[in-house]
Copies of this chain bind each other. A is one copy, B any other.
Amino acid sequence: MPPRSRTSIVEVAKHADVAISSVSRVLSGHPDVSDAMRKRVMSAVDDLGYRTDLLAQGLRRRETLTVGFVVGDISNPLLAAITMGAETRLRDAGYSMLLTNSENDPQIDAAQIGLLQQRRVDGLLLSLASEDNPAMLAALDGLDIPYVLIDREVDGSVKRRPSAVLSDHASGMQEAVGHLLDLGHRRIALVLGRPLRYSRQRRRGLEQAYAERDISEGFEILEGSSSAEHAARATERLLGRREAPPTAIVAGSNQLLVGILATLHRRRLKPGTDISLVSCDTVALTELLDPPIAVVRRDNRELGRTGAELLLRRLQDDTIEPETVLLPTEFVRQPSCVAAPSEPQRLPQPTPRKSRGLERGSIG
């Protein structure tokens, strides 16, 4: 037999011998319904196993109870945690999440923002690949639904001020670098990824820590991509040179940490012994390595949850103004940070051997 089309509200109405609109009223909890009617309809619904078609409902109500989430790379555990937090909150509120990976490509960001709008999502959660891509900014300006940026800033480049949930990376980084400075380090290297908000903030935190102590120089900052490979090469460059190699390295993201660790390993340098090391964002890696790695920590799931919260507020009351929430970060000390060597030291040079751990993009 042909796949019996699913039962519609019409059949329920027939079965109960009432008007379609009555079925609709009962099902959507309209107050002016008699008990008799309610019972009659509900029993027909049970008999037929009827379930509302949310697509048709959405078309008619002009509201789909659906939220779009655009994310650069869901396989990054950070973004996965954020996604988890957001989805849970949305689901609690009766919303479903349309998820799309942008492969860290601003063009895909832009295209997906448009596509999700065509799918009539009620709102958007955006963890964008870029903060200044023109196509993406145009897509944002074309939006007539509320959206929330997740740890991104596009202020000024966009017509209407967006909601945003941001991490206070600078303060955690300031603590971290302050700690290193207090341990006597002066030559501190910060390895950063792409020029997004978190990179800028982390840079600023480092600079503030130096400024706070009236130390004007010593640090260096290496920007690049957010790949482990970039971090590995940057670290290689830092440690390979004869003149004044850094005594402490700060990884600007968990992915970068992987590359830094690989290079340290290759050069047989042990964090907490030969060099001090700080990373950002707790992952299993930072806690289980020996010694554990000091990190600037934040609550990623909470980040997603709060993003969802901000969006829901605007979805439920469209007079609410866009708002920005700043979530804290916290520096967690670990033995990967030790006192700076008092004498200019010569780092051991590496023994050539097969590198490993860099083939895969995943940071696990």
CB pair A51 B285 closer than 8 Å: no
- In the complex, chain B residues whose CB is within 8 Å of the CB of A282: 360, 362, 364
A212 to B: closest C-beta gap in Å: 30
Complex Cα spacing A289 to B54, Å: 49
Mask, A280-298, CB within 8 Å of B = 1, is: 0011111111101000000
Report how many residues on chain A are interfacial, defined by Cβ distance under 8 Å. 65
- In the complex, chain B residues whose CB is within 8 Å of the CB of A96: 98, 100, 115-116, 119
CB pair B283 A119 closer than 8 Å: no
CB pair A364 B87 closer than 8 Å: no
- In the complex, chain B residues whose CB is within 8 Å of the CB of A226: none
**Any B CB within 8 A of the CB of A190:** no
Contact of A120 among B53, B103, B283 (CB under 8 A): B53
- In the complex, chain B residues whose CB is within 8 Å of the CB of A6: 144
**Any B CB within 8 A of the CB of A154:** no
A96 to B: closest C-beta gap in Å: 5
- In the complex, chain B residues whose CB is within 8 Å of the CB of A119: 54-55, 66, 96
Contact of A118 among B51, B98, B120, B261 (CB under 8 A): B51
Contact of A97 among B98, B114, B117 (CB under 8 A): B98
**Any B CB within 8 A of the CB of A43:** no
**Any B CB within 8 A of the CB of A83:** yes
A121 to B: closest C-beta gap in Å: 10
A62's nearest neighbour on chain B, judged by CB, is B5
Q: Could you list which residues of chain A lie within 8 angstroms of chain B, going by C-beta atoms?
A: 3-4, 6, 49, 51-56, 58-59, 64, 66, 69, 73-77, 80-81, 83-84, 87-88, 91, 96-101, 103, 114-120, 142, 144, 254, 258, 261-262, 265, 282-290, 292, 301, 356-357, 360, 362-364
